[in-house]
Chains A and B, each alone.
Chain A
Amino acid sequence: MNGIQVLLVTGLLLVAIYFFVRLQNSVMDILLLLLMVATGIVFVLFPSITQTIAHKLGVGRGADLIFYLSIIIFWFVILKLYTRLRRVEKILTDIVRKEALDEVRKR
């Protein structure tokens, strides 16, 4: 293993541990996370795999393929978070409004 591989594998493991410890998520979430981290580690340790896949898809380098995929995943996550934020905001609005109106009704 060379330097960057050690760095990346450690990073991935830390993410996994952090996720595991901090968030008591559903089984599905944990399985998905494990799958992603495992794939990540395999790709880091055997970069030639990404190279092969990249070539099959018509991308020059494995690293480029990962980069393109990351951008898509990044957007997906942002939009997912955005919809969740809207939902939370709506709940907050409903609570604050109800509380405000109840306060007036009491008077």
Chain B
Amino acid sequence: MPGHNHKNIYVVIPAFNEKEVIGCVAKQVAELGYSIIVVDDGSEQDVGEVLKDIPALTLVRHQVNLGQGAALQTGIDLALENDADYIVTFDADGQHMATHIPRMLEPLINDQADIALASRFLIKGSHNAPKKRQWLLQAGRLVNYIFTGLYLSDAHNGFRALNRKAASSIRLTENRMAHATEIIAQVKQNKLRYLEIASHVSYTSYSRKKGQSGLQGVKIFFDLVLQKLFK
């Protein structure tokens, strides 16, 4: 993107006890020249220590652990306040490719979409997810379709890019993991133009350990049902 001011592009990274890898992830993003907002969601570890040498990085800290959805919303709020034109959400555990950020932003900058959602299933072989995880994500896809009406290829991918319009119209109230479905529902409600972009997701032993289990899938489902019933 020649001539575009990268400083107005904010990469929001929610982090909860990710000290082992967050420094490395943030460094990769910083090398591309983007502004970074790390939302420390009440970690017991001192995350600031591994981030202090990274340029253009703001660390926001929740006093208590609220969940990834809440952390994302705090990061988005701060980015909007800092006049961000584009906001990227990125996982702290190193499973996304920082070098794919420009690819996610391209359709937004060309005004083809308001929100770009990364998908590990658009291109065969662009993930090495364990079989069990794949089944879980397929089930998640279906659940998302039932709740939102959008049938996307990847149910829970933390890698997204939003323009200012999308970021200001999305308001996450699901503090925990159900926010991924909530975003899609609000994309539909607000009639945002969306695009899926193929992006590799790498499952390291670290991200596998930190990732979501089948039990959490059930929890997400109940959060969604209860929210639908008692909003």
Contacts and interface: CB of A to CB of B under 8 A. Distances in A.
Contacts of A104: 58, 60, 78
A99 interface: yes
A39 B46 CA distance: 56
Contacts, number: 39
B60 A101 contact: yes
Given A96-B62, A96-B63, A103-B61, A86 B230 contact: yes
A79 B230 contact: yes
Interface residues on B, range: 10 to 19
A84 B81 CA distance: 31
Q: What secondary structure prevails in chain B residues at the interface with A?
A: mixed
Interface in B68-88: 70, 73-74, 77-78, 81
Interface stretch (A17-25, A60-68, A87-95): A87-95
Contact of A97 (B58, B62, B226, B230): B62
Contacts of B39: 100
Contacts of B175: 89, 93
B146 interface: no
A54 B58 CA distance: 66
Given A79-B230, A82-B230, A83-B230, A97 B77 contact: yes
A99 B77 CA distance: 13
A87 B96 CA distance: 34
B123 interface: no
Interface residues of A, number: 15
Contacts of B58: 104
Contacts of A93: 66, 70, 175
Nearest to A103: B61
Contact of B63 (A82, A100, A101): A100
A97 B74 contact: yes
A100 B230 contact: no
A78 B219 CA distance: 17
B173 interface: yes
B230 A101 contact: no
B64 A100 contact: no
A69 B173 CA distance: 34
Which of A86, A90, A96 has the most CB atoms of chain B within a 10 A radius of its CB? A96
Nearest to A97: B74
B74 A100 contact: yes
B78 to A, nearest CB: 6
Contacts of A89: 175
Interface in A16-64: none
Contact of B77 (A90, A101, A103): A101
A89 B226 CA distance: 14
4 closest cross-chain pairs (CB), A and B: A97-B74, A100-B60, A83-B230, A96-B62
Given A82-B226, A97-B70, A100-B74, 16 more contacts: A86-B230, A89-B175, A92-B64, A96-B62, A96-B64, A96-B66, A97-B73, A97-B77, A99-B63, A100-B39, A100-B63, A101-B74, A101-B78, A103-B60, A104-B58, A104-B78
